[in-house]
Copies of this chain bind each other. A is one copy, B any other.
Amino acid sequence: MNRVRVAIVGATGYTGAELVRILARHPGAELVAVTSERLDGQPLATGAAWLPSELTLQKYDPRAISADVVFLAQESGFAREAAPEWAGRSVIIDLSADFRLVDDATRQSAYGHGPLPDVGPIAYGLPELVPHAEIAQAALIANPGCHVTAAALATVPFQRAGHLLETPVIVSQTGVSGAGRAKRDPAYTFSELAEATSAYGVVGHRHVPELEQVLGRAVRFTPVLVPMTRGMLSVCQFRCDTPDALVPTLRDAYADSPFVRLVESPPSTKQVRGTNRADLYATFDARTGHAVVLCAIDNLGKGAAGQAVQNFNLRFGFPEATGLPMEAVWP
């Protein structure tokens, strides 16, 4: 088998480095380029001491890179500019928000970007909820946000089955790594965040339009920052008059997914850390007639780099779980 030649743009950020970690062990991938503006010419291990790699970082220069696929692991705004240079030459897997929203006006309002450049067919890469054929034929795959991945896995099956009777209320706990590696805001130092929990973007968080696009209805959404590095726990509540359908609905929806697991006690974020898994738990409160569905993922795994490799597998014809970590590092 010829290996797929892979370039990673932004290889020393958290999602970029997680891509390197996973793809370094992927039997069908060959890393041909890893970029960093700051560390051009240095070994990857200089910028990411946890990756004892032989690779050398290079400045971003699309014309100097020949790859079958390019992962863009950069800040919002980058992919929009860069995609046309790759289109037609390499499949693009974008981990930013640039191409996630379909509606121009919504995107303009949420991110300040108008219409998108034409780069060929775009797929929204949430494979458990999107037809695999779309992903397999895409020129560009827009990799979902972490909050959206967790909340959508917990709610979309109920919406599709007609069991979502009202606006769901979602409180989504997240680890700190979602803020990225280059964060220079003193509010993100260890001293400020250890022993501290706080809500942020209490209403109107940027991920809301994306979640509403996937779900097909409005949501109430509040993220909470908790003192851990990785991990995301979405607590989703909605009124429900078919409690017996809760577990079967999820079971049916994810019967074919190697990554989604229904668990019998409330999951800890730690049990999926470092993996591409999503652990779901559903229960019903008979007193108030509402369902609670929990979804635990790793925000950098299923919420970012893991899911991107899952999309890579679907796009290039590998079995969906190829090379993806399933066992968590515990404790």
Q: Residues of A with Cβ closer than 8 Å to B? A: 14, 17, 20-21, 24-25, 48-53, 167, 169, 171, 173, 175-177, 179, 181-186, 188-200, 202-204, 208, 218-220, 222, 224, 226-231, 233, 235, 237, 261, 263, 266-274, 277, 279, 281, 283-285, 287-288, 290, 292, 294, 296, 326-331
Instruction: Write the chain B residue with the least CB distance to A51.
Output: B327
* Contact (Cβ within 8 A) B195 A195: yes
With the chains together, A21 CA to B328 CA distance in Å?
Answer: 8
| Minimum C-beta distance from A29 to chain B (A) | 14
- A198 and B50 contact, Cβ closer than 8 Å, known pairs A190-B176, A227-B227, A237-B220: no
* Contact (Cβ within 8 A) B191 A229: yes
Residues from chain B with a CB closer than 8 A to the CB of A329 are 21, 50, 230, 273-274, 329
* Contact (Cβ within 8 A) B327 A235: no
Number of copies: 4
Residues from chain B with a CB closer than 8 A to the CB of A283 are 202-203
Q: 11 extra interchain contacts, Cβ-Cβ under 8 A, other than A194-B228, A198-B233? A: A171-B171, A173-B226, A177-B191, A184-B186, A191-B331, A194-B227, A195-B269, A198-B268, A198-B296, A202-B266, A226-B226
Instruction: Write the chain B residue with the least CB distance to A171.
Output: B171
* Contact (Cβ within 8 A) A186 B183: yes
* Contact (Cβ within 8 A) A294 B191: no
| Minimum C-beta distance from A88 to chain B (A) | 32
Residues from chain B with a CB closer than 8 A to the CB of A183 are 186, 189, 191
- A285 and B203 contact, Cβ closer than 8 Å, known pairs A181-B186, A191-B176: yes
With the chains together, A59 CA to B180 CA distance in Å?
Answer: 33
Residues from chain B with a CB closer than 8 A to the CB of A229 are 190-191, 194-195, 331
| Minimum C-beta distance from A268 to chain B (A) | 4
- A50 and B17 contact, Cβ closer than 8 Å, known pairs A184-B186, A229-B191, A235-B171: no
| Minimum C-beta distance from A275 to chain B (A) | 8
Residues from chain B with a CB closer than 8 A to the CB of A190 are 176, 188-190, 192-194, 227, 229
Instruction: Write the chain B residue with the least CB distance to A237.
Output: B169
| Minimum C-beta distance from A114 to chain B (A) | 22
With the chains together, A120 CA to B199 CA distance in Å?
Answer: 42
A-B contact pairs, 20 of them (CB 8 A): A21-B329, A21-B330, A48-B330, A50-B272, A50-B273, A50-B328, A171-B171, A175-B195, A177-B191, A181-B192, A183-B191, A184-B184, A191-B331, A195-B229, A198-B233, A202-B283, A208-B287, A220-B237, A226-B228, A273-B329
